[in-house]
Amino acid sequence: MSQIALKGVTKSFGGVSVIHGVDLDIETGELVVFVGPSGCGKSTLLRLISGLDQPSAGAIEIDGRDVTRVSAADRGLAMVFQSYALYPHMTVRQNLSFGLENTRMAKAEVTGRVAEAARMLNIEPLLDRRPTQLSGGQRQRVAIGRAIVRNPTAFLLDEPLSNLDAELRVSMRAELAALHARLGTTMIYVTHDQIEAMTLASRIVVLRAGRVEQVARPLDLFNRPANLFVAGFIGAPSMNLFPTRAEGGTAALPGGRRVPMAGVPEGSEVTIGLRPQHLRLAQGNEPGFDLRIALIEALGTETVVHGELAGTSGDTPRRVFAILPGQPGVALGDILRLGFDEAYLHRFGPDGQRLVGPGRP
């Protein structure tokens, strides 16, 4: 049985609809990441689950109980805010114990839980400081600690790492993953950073404009994006998408190579996707397409090539990304012939949905 279930949840603010009927089941112990471009409604959805906002329609269930009209405090959830929202006038210890004292918990148990959380997060030396005397990473720990002490049925984390610098973000990400493994508590995590999403998630929910585009395990999302949006959103640099036309069971790619395209009406507009990682320098007479290099990003272990399809320079040259392993001797303005394996192709029908067919898992 799913622990948190959303059933046809919609939300509108003053007539503007921002969540359009979301159905979602979250299993116990999962770490589910909501990801999507800004304004897609991921934070709003989290606030609906937390109870800080009420859905306009639909129901939210936790542990099989309908909590749609239950107040935020009584849902048994804990939230970590993007700004941490630590009480600036209280010490770290008071910040941690505030929520417990409000439930009239016995003093001894409050002390015990605070000590336990502080030990787990290595913030014991900070307990008597105020939030203003802490660094960003320490504040982040305290914010998580404030959630942990409540022993919630699920954690809700709203972009918890976005205020940290890059280095700290990587280490906190690892700590969060370890914490989740240790506590085994359900977590819902909102981010716009797909690396966070890919590394942390048990399952990823991709949202766009208030709708769920796809729910899948991270690698499934990468390997089998359900539609053009997910294909373009997941992966960096993003997938190369080539619009073309299905003719006689095949479709032509730039450069003239035809690939099988089954299951769509003759003559329909289809899109073929190819990840930059799956392009390689063509060997010998291998068919492929020619790319004029516009920009080279040499990262050492790999080289990202931004190029334009040769021969399309006239009106709108199509941008193509390719990631070549190692440090190939290429220069700006060179024309490269790139090849690929058909197994790596992603095929999308006229409606933008993924076509079932040959495709690598």
Residue where the block lists tokens 């490269």: 336
Query: Binding to other proteins (CB under 8 A): which residues in 128-167?
Result: 146, 150
d(CA 206, CA 221): 9
Q: Which residue from 83, 135, 171, 327 is in contact with other proteins, where contact means CB under 8 A?
A: 83
Residue with tokens 């080539």: 242
Residues 175-214 that bind other proteins (CB under 8 A): none
Q: Where are the alpha helices (DSSP H) in 149-297?
A: 166-183, 194-200, 218-223, 228-233
Q: Which is closer to other proteins, CB of 113 or CB of 146?
A: 146
**How far apart are CB 69 and other proteins at their closest, in Å?**
15
Which span sits near other proteins by CB under 8 A: 35-43, 66-74, 198-206, 236-244? 66-74
Q: Which residues pair with 208 in a beta bridge?
A: 211
Amino acid at 196: E
Q: Which of 10, 28, 81, 290 binds other proteins (CB under 8 A)?
A: 81
Among 24, 79, 239, 330, binds other proteins (CB under 8 A): 79
Strand, coil or helix: what is 2?
Answer: coil
Spatial contact of 23 and 7, defined as CB atoms under 8 Å apart: yes
In the list 98, 296, 306, 328, the residue contacting other proteins (rule: CB under 8 A) is 98
d(C-alpha 142, C-alpha 194), whole Å: 25
Q: Which of 62, 78, 212, 309 binds other proteins (CB under 8 A)?
A: 78
Under rule CB under 8 A, residue 103 binds other proteins: yes
The answer to whether residue 344 forms part of the interface with other proteins (CB under 8 A) is no
Beta-sheet strand order (sheet of 250-252): 258-260, 250-252, 240-247, 269-274, 346-348
According to DSSP, residue 318 is labeled P
- Scanning 99-107, 173-181, 208-216, 247-255 for contacts with other proteins by CB under 8 A, the matching segment is 99-107
13 contributes a contact to other proteins by CB under 8 A: no
Binding site for other proteins (CB under 8 A): 50, 52, 71-73, 77-79, 81-83, 85-89, 98-99, 102-103, 146, 150
